[in-house]
Amino acid sequence: MVGVYVYDLMSRHVTSNVSYIALQSAVEWHAVASNKLSTNARTLIAVESMARRIGHRNEDEDARGVRALTTSVFAMSPHVDSEASSPSGRSAQDDRAAEAAPTPPASTPSPACALNAAPTLTEITQLTSDELSTAQVDDSIIDCGRAALALLHSNPDLARKLAYQKLHDVPYKEVKTCWRRLYTDASLQKVLAVTAKNFGTSQQAHTGAWLDEVVRLLDMALILTAAPGREELVELWFAALEEELSTCEPADAIQEHLERPAKKQKREHATSIPPTFHTTLIEPSPILQHFIPRVDSPSLSAFQKKLSNPATHTPVIITNAIQHWPALSDRPWNSPSYLLERTLGGRRLVPIETGRSYTDSGWGQKITSFRDFMSRYMLCPSGAQHKDSALKDTGYLAQHDVFAQIPSLRADISIPDYCFATPHRHLPANIDPNSTQKLEDPLLNAWFGPKGTISPLHTDPYHNVLAQVVGYKYVRCYKPEVTERMYPRGKEEGVDMGNTSLVDLDEAMRMFPEIGIKGLGMEDEAGGEANEVADEAGQELDQRRREFNSSFPGFKEADYVEAMLGPGECLYLPPGWWHYVKSLSPSFSVSFWFN
């Protein structure tokens, strides 16, 4: 998306002048290159999206730049569809028109709209209605056929159900873009209907149910389809809703929304919002034996040298490389209130994993509101999830690109420079070269969950920088050369699980204190039972140890390195390295895959 591209430029060039130049260049490029939206719509969306990102900086010069640019863009917009004769895609006539900066006609959204952080609901409703009624000759949705397109306008509910069925008829990578687009447009039609029925009525002042429904429709479109051709439009909807909430919802409404699901539980489990997540580690700290090396903010050239030699493709902890991230300071991800604010009071939907680990039989996936995720898993009173069987499962927002879905969170971080190094082509023997593709840009994923979440022993096919923002994680790594001792899984129910170990490292560390971690409680069970050899539990433990050694000979002898990753620290992990990760506290991490 253009907005993300611009933010990456601006995150490296903080000065106002450079930010303005980056913004201007991107908007001009967007206005010329995009053929998905009508002229006024696409220029408005470009300005809106990037003005919001610059607005986070609160710099006077940036604000003046946006004002000047807004006027220029609307003056330019009637001409952008003409053939480009200059490198920027504009003719001399266009440049003169931009300099003259006349007032835009009444039929176009006013520059004042673009100067705000978001359009009003009235403006975004009109814009959406215009876009859904504007046919493009080369639009991918045409491939759905006339019957489906007619259904889109006559019965959006049925069109959405048809598209949903098509999304699940074949593996997702084989789903045609037209069906993803049909689902998105049908969802937008329903959004218009819900908004028209509820916005501005007396009911609006008494309930936010219609807002929940609008957010649900938009987020389901993003999560299930990525909203092809409508990304900026959907993003503008969320900006408009955020603006609406900021003006009409009381300051304590987030607390009320968070408590709503808790009221369905026992009264003693009622949830309140603490100022920060409880991430303090118990004393004493875990005692590590085989340390991953640490280096303080290495230069890009030094890191490039490391990646240029396959022999030095080894894990390393990088410190003081992301301290400038707003997520660690003035827009803190350690604040539950901030995260709820960024997710429309917790209304945004997120896909989560449930259960201890994806290798367990009880593991599952579901889509839930961020509010419910926080209330049930992140802010649950200490011990409640163990006392109440309804709360005993673990929820984990794992390996999800939440930043494409919620760009305001993307604006709180920047891609580490190390991800733009060029690694040596060599891949270890346990990585199939055909399992990867050349990445033009790093792949970002969020990992957000409570204490105790686990990523079992597995490998990844890409180079990885794992940035820790909130809380602490324990990481253990085994080199690719010991792959046979990791006992990779095979195909399970048609899915290749060869990158995941059969060994349950959690269980192994409990059974064998010599490979456990002192201070994490993993050795207590084994140690206590081992001292009571005459006890039935001790005999059972001995039997389990024999079975483990018989099933996985050589595993305990495999060399490993380990680390505790804290806020502001990054772990570089080469492809092919087996790694196990466990949250020692509530935790929020971001992974950056690159090659």
The single residue listed with the structure tokens 């730049």 is 65
Please indicate whether residue 78 or residue 400 has the higher confidence score (pLDDT).
400
Closest CA to 593 of 578, 574, 577, 569: 574
E strand residue ranges, 18-174:
none
**Average pLDDT over all residues of the chain:** 79
pLDDT digits (tens, 9 = 90+) for 89-109: 333 334 433 333 333 334 344
CB 563 within 8 A of CB 466: no
* The pLDDT value given to residue 535: 66
Closest CA to 184 of 211, 139, 152, 138: 152
Question: Rounded CA gap, 457 and 515, in Å?
Answer: 14
579: pLDDT strictly greater than 80: yes
Domain boundaries, the chain: 1-117, 119-249, 291-424+445-486+555-595, 504-551
Report the range out of 68-77, 110-119, 395-404 with the highest average pLDDT: 395-404
Question: Rounded CA gap, 554 and 390, in Å?
Answer: 40
CB 163 within 8 A of CB 178: no
pLDDT digits (tens, 9 = 90+) for 110-132: 333 443 458 999 999 999 999 99
Per the structure block, which two tokens stand in for 508?
């192994």
Question: Rounded CA gap, 282 and 384, in Å?
Answer: 19
* The pLDDT value given to residue 494: 76
Write the DSSP symbol of residue 555: T
Pairing of strands 570-573, 316-319: antiparallel
Angle at the Cα of 186 (from 181 to 192), degrees rounded to 5?
A: 130
Report the amino acid identity of residue 384: A
CATH number for 291-424+445-486+555-595 (one of 2.60.120.650, 2.102.10.10, 3.40.50.720, 1.10.340.30): it is 2.60.120.650
Range 561-578 average pLDDT: 98
39: pLDDT strictly greater than 50: no
Pairing of strands 294-296, 316-319: parallel
* The pLDDT value given to residue 134: 86
C-alpha gyration radius of the chain: 26
Closest CA to 461 of 476, 474, 480: 480
DSSP reduced 3-state for 568? coil
* The pLDDT value given to residue 89: 39
Pairing of strands 491-492, 578-583: unpaired
Name the H helices within 291-361.
300-308, 336-342
First-to-last alpha carbon distance for the chain, in angstroms, is: 21
Question: Rounded CA gap, 511 and 503, in Å?
Answer: 12
Per the structure block, which two tokens stand in for 50?
């990037």
pLDDT digits (tens, 9 = 90+) for 189-239: 999 999 999 876 655 544 578 999 999 999 999 999 999 999 999 999 999
Farthest CA pair distance, the chain = 93
* The pLDDT value given to residue 235: 95
* The pLDDT value given to residue 436: 87
Report the range of poorest mean pLDDT among 28-37, 322-331, 378-387, 442-451: 28-37
- DSSP for 163-179? HHHHHHHS-GGGS-HHH
Report the amino acid identity of residue 143: D
Closest CA to 251 of 186, 325, 317, 345: 345
Q: Please, which contacts does 138-144 make with residues 24 or more away whose CB atoms are closer than 8 Å? A: 138/35, 139/36, 139/181, 139/229, 140/177, 140/178, 140/181, 140/228, 140/229, 141/178, 141/181, 141/182, 141/185, 141/229, 142/178, 143/176, 143/177, 143/178, 144/178, 144/179, 144/181, 144/182
Could you give the count of Cα atoms lying within 13 Å of 441 in the half-sphere of its Cβ?
Answer: 8
Closest CA to 236 of 52, 112, 106: 52
Question: Rounded CA gap, 451 and 449, in Å?
Answer: 7
* The pLDDT value given to residue 403: 95
- φ, ψ for residue 343, nearest 5 deg: -110, 30
* The pLDDT value given to residue 245: 86
Give the number of other Cβ atoms within 10 Å of residue 541's Cβ. 20
What distance lies between CA 579 and its chain's CA centroid? 21
Question: Rounded CA gap, 439 and 266, in Å?
Answer: 48
Q: Give the pLDDT band (50/70/90) at residue 335.
A: very high
Report the range out of 154-163, 240-249, 434-443, 508-517 with the highest average pLDDT: 154-163
Range 578-595 average pLDDT: 97
463: pLDDT strictly greater than 80: yes
- DSSP for 444-459? EEEEEE-TT-EEEEE-
pLDDT digits (tens, 9 = 90+) for 407-443: 999 999 999 999 999 999 999 999 998 888 999 999 9
